[in-house]
Structure 1
Amino acid sequence: MADLLVSGGTVISMDGARRVIADGAVAVTGDTIVAVGPRAEVEAAHAAPKRIDARGKAILPGLIDGHAHAGHGLVKTMGSGDSAAWSEACRIIYTLASPPEFWRAEAALAALEQLKFGITTSVMLLGGGDSIGRVDDPAHGDAHVAGVNAIGIRRIMVLGPTRPPFPRPYRGVDGTVRDVAFEQQAETIATLVERHHGKGRITCATLMPVYREATHDPAKVAEIEEQGRVIRDIGTQAGTLFHQDGHRSGSIEMADRMFGLLGPDAWLSHCTDLTEEDIATLVRTGASVVHNPSAIAAVRGFCPAIAMMDAGVTVMLGSDGTAPDRSTDMFRHMFQAMRYHQRAARDESLLPPGKALEMITIDAAKGLGMADRVGSLEVGKQADIITVDLHAPHMLPANMPVHRVVYFAGGGDVRDVVVAGDILMRDRVVPHVDEAAVREDADGATAAMLAQAGLSAMVAEDPGWGRTRRG
């Protein structure tokens, strides 16, 4: 006797054999998958009180977003495409104009977006850039976790300090502005890791800023080394992963050689314009990469994802979302990744759809140290399952299901979402969430943030009518 059957659809298992099973089924007991196979066989062996009729749908493992930013969900419309102004606004907001209520409302909105896009596991840095973390007081991280838990997806909350010089001004929960030293930020990170890592569907990771500039100042090197040891020790003692955001042009080799930050528990984002030494460092240390093909960083530089994968590096995809020009729709980012590399090499054979799908399922799970739990539909793994409509006009004719899912589906084609055996969305309805209340809370928190930050002018829209360039 199982608890749940998802049956009648085309199972795209992402298991070791990459089985695609027409008229297949998945049986779930508790939070665990107990059978995957042809519908007739699974249903004969497993009755269940709960069922999802997947006829006309693809059945896949839940999608994984390997890199995104908490907070961005309420600032993504600001700036009319001026990325420098937008980044500066994020710095102001995340340090001086974002009380706990902001982080709770944003987390619920962003998690609801991801749930409805079929993302069951997501990485979120608690803040923007590589070093604008909201780590002055645990209240903000607590609020973020509360918002995510109200929706029910899995979250890896990434926590890291700002970059020197210290102290850094933050507006506290009592409304006063105080200078916050590295030591207080590290204490906040340690508290949040202890409080939330491995609790329910929340895990944590630690982060250090990326140092791209070569430095010959022994005092600065010593400061960075010491801070890196402190942050790494927090994560090591708790068994967390380690992340860095924004590597490029020699910084990976530098992070390992000068600061000893890398290892098989590390995954690094963007990774553009890498040197041969950078790629060799990834291979030697076992660190993984999250490629963000839709991000501005991928415009300003080139991520050699194909070369890294050919060298044996695990590469996943991330949305880097949300942001002024992108959502967290991983179907969109898959297609962007394929065209990005095909156009760069003038080679349409690169990054076939099967590999792209691996990069948001089983490869992402491997890179995040979760391949024994999620990323594929296999007996013994957690029951993170989604269905995708295959009968919409843009999804026909009814052949080549993997091709159709990767090339033609969008986040809005996800119909059902199961996380750890719990049905969180059925036929696009999220019954445990008052979506109107989530929207209302988000709008209220946004208005309060704009007023406190004095940045209301940044939501004046300039679409660029009649111009071929912004500005």
Structure 2
Amino acid sequence: MTEKPIIEADLLITGAEIITMNAQRHVIRDGALAIKGNRIVMVGKREEAERIVRAKETRDGSNFVISPGFVDGHIHITADPLTRGFVRRVPTDSWNDNLTKWVIPLFKSQTPSDEKLAAQLSALAMIRYGTTTFLEAGTVIHLDDVMEGLAEAGIRGRVGQWVEGRAYDPSADQAAKIADAIALLEGEVEAYPDDGDCMLACWPVLVGHSTNPDEVWLAAKALADAKGLKVSAHMSPRQSDPDWFMARYNRRPMEHLADIGALGPNVCITHLAAIDRSEMELVVETGTTCIHCPDAAFKGGMGLAKQGLHLEMMEGGATVMLGTDGNATDILSSARLMAAGYRDARGDQDLLPSTTLMELMTVNGAKGMGWEDRIGTLAPGYKADFVLHDTRLLEWGPIFDSVGQLAQHAPPNGVHSVWIDGRQVLDGGRNLLLDEEKLLAEAVPAGKALVERTGLPIRTPWPIL
């Protein structure tokens, strides 16, 4: 029998249970994972690794389950971390009023330092809960400051600047508005190009809904086609989007986007809660990715339990990935909420089993980003993005089924250590790159000043003495 060649590695972790998410969905008990630079070079049994891996450093992983890093497909990384406790609406406000009178003024009142701070707070939260890759939701204003902050955090992500190309005022110069929006799209992807391997870059991310005319959608799609990027946008969280498109175009949003050629495998659409079967079929036929944000949907009363079609999209072969939308702090809770909502609505406890939840958080997220050959799986050649989950917690107990225990029962804050691109960024729950105490201290006055600049009233449901 020919002896396997020696594998040189920077780090070898031995004795862990490894959820590989490879094509065979292997789970390796008493396993080993080795990395060199920013790549995985070996995944297998501990005893084999001890024979063939020559590592500069070896660590004992016997108390841990290792999973691929999670992917958050939709998160607003700015504003929310500074103003999460601010009451933004009252029951008499419509959803549109909530956006125009409360949410948007908060976003647009941010200073560059606000946005950098908020982006780093978002990165802190994502990493703490095992997210190693994210796709921003397209509401960044001060791009350079945000990218600087994210680079310091060591997280992998794609970001989009705030792009709105529709002039709702009939007297406004619509052609100039479109030109400015397209110039912004072109400028951001030129300033932060995606070479396929970089940690941070810009993609054309549209606010969506009715905020951009066809010319801007098609310009974003053309940019993505030419440069190997992806377009992302919000659409149809509620009936207001279909109503607007029906009134203007006499067809529903996804029908309109399909007709103008704005859908396809390099397009991701977030929410899609208020769609019908014909639109669902278009998502499947065009290969468009759907990003589902359970916290926004179920907590926001979008009616998803009654009308949601994400399961049908998945059954049809569409890629569905998960996002937190900034409403949640961890993708694991979002996955569980998706399962609970659909199981209850359809009276079927077998829907969305643990295996599917793991896929949604890892390989589906990787595929939605177009990176299924580099992240979301623990296998030789893949990026060294992985998470060590501490099993020395009451919620774990003895390990019988690590996939089920992680997906259904493990505490989200049970993440012990995180590596991104071969670099350890979290150890024992402590961030190694950012000063968490300092950032949290800065967040309090920054959030208060941000709300004060908007002039919006601070409201509480009960009187405060």
Asked if these proteins are the same fold (TM beyond 0.5), I'd say yes
Residue type of the partner of 2:30? D
Residue 318 of structure 1 corresponds to which residue in structure 2?
Answer: 323
Note the C-alpha offset of 1:86: 5.1
Unaligned runs of 5+ in 2: 1-7, 171-175, 243-251
Q: Is the 8 A contact 2:137 2:232 kept in 1?
A: no
Note the C-alpha offset of 1:193: 1.3
Secondary structure class of the residue paired with 1:328: coil
Residue 378 of structure 1 corresponds to which residue in structure 2?
Answer: 379
Q: CA RMSD in A?
A: 2.4
Query: Over residues 383-403 of structure 1, what are the superposed CA-to-partner deviations in whole Å (9 max), with x where a residue is unaligned?
Result: 001011122011113311111
Q: Is the 8 A contact 1:282 1:288 kept in 2?
A: yes
Is residue 73 of structure 1 aligned with residue 81 of structure 2?
Answer: yes
Is residue 64 of structure 1 aligned with residue 68 of structure 2?
Answer: no
Secondary structure class of the residue paired with 1:359: helix
Correspondence 1:395-406 to 2 at 5 A: 395-406=396-407
Secondary structure class of the residue paired with 1:159: coil
Pick closer, same or farther for the CA change 1:236–1:440 going to 2, 3 Å: farther
Secondary structure class of the residue paired with 2:301: helix
Query: Over residues 281-339 of structure 1, what are the superposed CA-to-partner deviations in whole Å (9 max), with x where a residue is unaligned?
Result: 11221111111111146632323111111111111111111x3xxx2211111111111
Is residue 43 of structure 1 aligned with residue 50 of structure 2?
Answer: yes
Is residue 23 of structure 1 aligned with residue 30 of structure 2?
Answer: yes
Note the C-alpha offset of 1:90: 2.1
Note the C-alpha offset of 1:274: 2.2
Q: Is the 8 A contact 2:138 2:206 kept in 1?
A: no
Note the C-alpha offset of 1:68: 1.0
Secondary structure class of the residue paired with 2:21: coil
Residue 424 of structure 2 corresponds to which residue in structure 1?
Answer: 423
Q: Is the 8 A contact 1:108 1:147 kept in 2?
A: yes
Q: Is the 8 A contact 2:271 2:297 kept in 1?
A: no
Q: Is the 8 A contact 1:5 1:25 kept in 2?
A: yes
Residue 114 of structure 1 corresponds to which residue in structure 2?
Answer: 126
For residues 16 and 63 of structure 2, what CA distance do their matches in structure 1 show? 6
Secondary structure class of the residue paired with 1:295: helix
Unaligned runs of 5+ in 1: 128-132, 135-139, 169-179, 214-222, 466-471
Match among 139, 154, 157 for residue 156 of structure 2: 154
For residues 193 and 233 of structure 2, what CA distance do their matches in structure 1 show? 18
> Could you tell which deviates more after superposition, 82-91 or 32-41?
82-91
Residue type of the partner of 1:64? V
For residues 13 and 379 of structure 1, what CA distance do their matches in structure 2 show? 11
Q: Is the 8 A contact 1:391 1:398 kept in 2?
A: no
Q: Is the 8 A contact 1:33 1:380 kept in 2?
A: yes
Residue 262 of structure 1 corresponds to which residue in structure 2?
Answer: 263
Query: Over residues 62-88 of structure 1, what are the superposed CA-to-partner deviations in whole Å (9 max), with x where a residue is unaligned?
Result: 000111112222222111774856533
Q: Is the 8 A contact 1:194 1:238 kept in 2?
A: no
Pick closer, same or farther for the CA change 1:80–1:51 going to 2, 3 Å: farther
Q: Is the 8 A contact 1:332 1:410 kept in 2?
A: no
Residue 306 of structure 1 corresponds to which residue in structure 2?
Answer: 311
Note the C-alpha offset of 1:267: 1.1
Pick closer, same or farther for the CA change 1:451–1:210 going to 2, 3 Å: closer
Q: Is the 8 A contact 1:190 1:234 kept in 2?
A: yes
Name the % identity. Answer: 25
Q: Is the 8 A contact 1:212 1:247 kept in 2?
A: no
Note the C-alpha offset of 1:212: 6.7
For residues 428 and 209 of structure 2, what CA distance do their matches in structure 1 show? 46
Residue 103 of structure 1 corresponds to which residue in structure 2?
Answer: 115
For residues 418 and 210 of structure 1, what CA distance do their matches in structure 2 show? 33
Residue type of the partner of 1:184? D
For residues 212 and 226 of structure 1, what CA distance do their matches in structure 2 show? 13
Residue type of the partner of 1:91? I
> Could you tell which deviates more after superposition, 439-448 or 282-291?
439-448
Match among 235, 238, 251 for residue 246 of structure 1: 235
Note the C-alpha offset of 1:359: 0.3
Pick closer, same or farther for the CA change 1:229–1:246 going to 2, 3 Å: closer
Residue type of the partner of 1:147? G
Is residue 10 of structure 1 aligned with residue 17 of structure 2?
Answer: yes
For residues 121 and 65 of structure 1, what CA distance do their matches in structure 2 show? 6
Query: Over residues 389-422 of structure 1, what are the superposed CA-to-partner deviations in whole Å (9 max), with x where a residue is unaligned?
Result: 1220111133111111011123210001001110
Correspondence 1:254-403 to 2 at 5 A: 254-257=256-259, 259-296=260-297, 299-302=301-304, 303-321=308-326, 323=327, 327-403=328-404
For residues 429 and 356 of structure 1, what CA distance do their matches in structure 2 show? 26
> Could you tell which deviates more after superposition, 239-248 or 3-12?
239-248
Q: Is the 8 A contact 2:83 2:451 kept in 1?
A: no
Is residue 198 of structure 1 aligned with residue 194 of structure 2?
Answer: yes
Residue type of the partner of 1:104? K
Residue 245 of structure 2 corresponds to which residue in structure 1?
Answer: none
For residues 156 and 410 of structure 1, what CA distance do their matches in structure 2 show? 27
Q: Is the 8 A contact 1:374 1:381 kept in 2?
A: yes
Residue 184 of structure 1 corresponds to which residue in structure 2?
Answer: 180
Note the C-alpha offset of 1:364: 1.1
